[in-house]
Structure 1
């Protein structure tokens, strides 16, 4: 799995919070009992838990999963202590491989959550996760998976080439694993649908304006850097492109829409209103 610094995760948290599809929460609230357990996969610093726990009523027991113990320490200490209705929220952390979770591991769990995770998985791993969730009778809220679309304003003739190379990098083979990258939302939705679950999709785009120059800078450096890693022959023009884009961001002249997708999954016996 990819490594992410806590600094980057905290920097992106406001953009994540603004992008998340809040309209998926109402059917989720209707499904959850008054006392429930959530497993947050690949929790990072706990950004999703901080956003979600205070938006759901009921007594909540959060189990945070990540392979990075430092991030787990951050996350465990930072979730809210109270739910939407004032009910208590308690938190434990477990270091484990989230790709190895099966239905038996989810016993007693009402909700499985993840943020910016699906695109880092393989088709087999997403299929196994879907099978585990459905067999366990859980709901799932899977948020902020990249979908491959980026809109920069003003546009630049090199935007499509950089985007294509970045998307290819997202689908690369890493450690013998073929990552899903921008295909992840479609693959996950199909996997859950085939198992009879009810799936609702929603757009969750970052919309970065001039007041987010530092996030724009770090995102641009990562976006262009991954494109060049995938297609090294881009480097001469990409270096100039990146410098031009960074100067625009610093001057407050750049706007960026980075598209993501969210999924709400409810067990097969339930229906979600259109």
Structure 2
């Protein structure tokens, strides 16, 4: 589950556009402690992975080939079309050539319970936490704790953005965008850039061992299509949040898009990855 900046829609085009940057950004440093925490399996037993808010399946395409052994992915999302894409796009083989299979489960993740994760040996999500409220994030942590399994939650925005070359309007648009990410939506106040800290606190409060790593997008000349779409959504969201910026928005966006098209714009977009490991047995 991951939205284009400001539009609130999980469109396949946006998810596919960002997949390469997501894969390059996720922290591989968390993989070794994750592998060590996975429960032992029998020779013919598959690792069951619950992928929350799977979107088009980018998490499975990234992670399944990095883990050994047979795997069975249970894909959760509320969009049937995205579920079908994720199921059909999952790799057929794991790191050591064992089969990878999948099933889909339509679900509203804001009401996830521990029973929904029954049987899973690993819980994953990508670009999900910032779209939740504080209570929904706490509920997710409780569900993972109840399942007593590791959770790898990647690519939560942290509000940090660095653009090169800089522009005097970068800060006003950044402040407005971050406020937009924290806005109330249908009575739900989203975590936005506060998600990494909220998730870490929620898991830590339940006794989990929490490890975090930065996982920023680093966009350059080869990422111009993604950077341009990200810029459009970012500026639109900022103006929606603070209409006073509308008079400057067109000129600012045009200049940034020109730099992007010419390969002269560099962007660091901050994200964080979190690995929550079950509390040690007494």
Answer whether TM exceeds 0.5 for this pair.
yes
> Structure 1 segments of 4 or more deviating over 4 A?
none
Distance in 1 (CA, whole Å) between partners of 2:72 and 2:224 is 37
Report how far residue 89 of structure 1 moved.
0.8
DSSP-derived class of the 1:92 partner: strand
Instruction: Pick one of 216, 228, 240 that aligns with 2:251.
Output: 240
Aligned to 1:16: 22
Equivalent position of 1:61 in the other structure? 72
Any idea what SS the aligned residue of 1:57 has?
Answer: coil
Looking at structure 1, the residues matched to 271 and 59 of structure 2 have their Cα atoms a distance apart, in angstroms, of: 15
What CA distance in whole angstroms lies between the structure 2 residues aligned with 1:234 and 1:21? 35
Contact 1:29 1:57 in 2 (8 A): no
Give a deviation string over 1:233-258, Cα, whole Å, max 9, x none: 10111211001100110111100000
SS in 1 for 2:91: coil
Does 2:144 correspond to 1:144?
no
CA drift of 1:28 comes to 0.8
* Corresponding residue for residue 121 of structure 1: 132
Q: Aligned partners of 1:136, 1:245: CA distance in 2, in Å?
A: 46
How far apart are 1:190 and its partner, in Å?
Answer: 0.3
Question: Post-superposition shift, 1:139?
Answer: 0.7
Match of 1:31 in 2: 37
Structure 1 residue 100, shift from structure 2 partner: 1.5
Distance (Å, rounded) in 2 between the aligned partners of 1:17 and 1:200:
19
Give the drift of 1:231: 0.4
1:176-230 deviation line (CA, Å, top 9, x unaligned): 1000000000000000001100000000000000111111110000111110110
Structure 1: 5+ residue runs without aligned partners? none
3-state SS, counterpart of residue 64 of structure 1: strand
In the TM superposition, 1:183-202 aligns within 5 A as 183-202=194-213
Cα drift, residue 76 of structure 1: 0.4
Partner of 2:4: none
Secondary structure in structure 1 of the residue aligned to 2:68: coil
Q: Deviations over 1:116-165 (max 9, x none)?
A: 00000000000011011112101100000100010000000100110000
Aligned match for 2:181, one of 158, 170, 181:
170
Aligned to 2:215: 204
Of residues 27-36 and 139-148 in structure 1, the stretch that sits farther from structure 2 once superposed is 27-36
Q: Distance in 2 between matches of 1:8 and 1:142?
A: 20
Residues 148, 259 of structure 1: 8 Å contact kept? yes
**Normalising by structure 1, what TM-score?**
0.97
Q: Retained in 2: the 8 A contact 1:38–1:111?
A: yes
Q: 2:23, 2:191 → 1: CA distance?
A: 24
Aligned residues: 270
Counterpart of 1:46 (choices 57, 66, 78) is 57
Q: Note the 1:1-12 alignment, pairs <5 A.
A: 2-12=8-18
**Helix, strand or coil: the match of 1:82?**
coil
**In 2: Cα distance, 1:174 partner to 1:103 partner:** 25
- SS of the residue 1:85 aligns to: coil
SS at match of 1:246: helix
- Give the structure 1 partner of residue 5 of structure 2: none
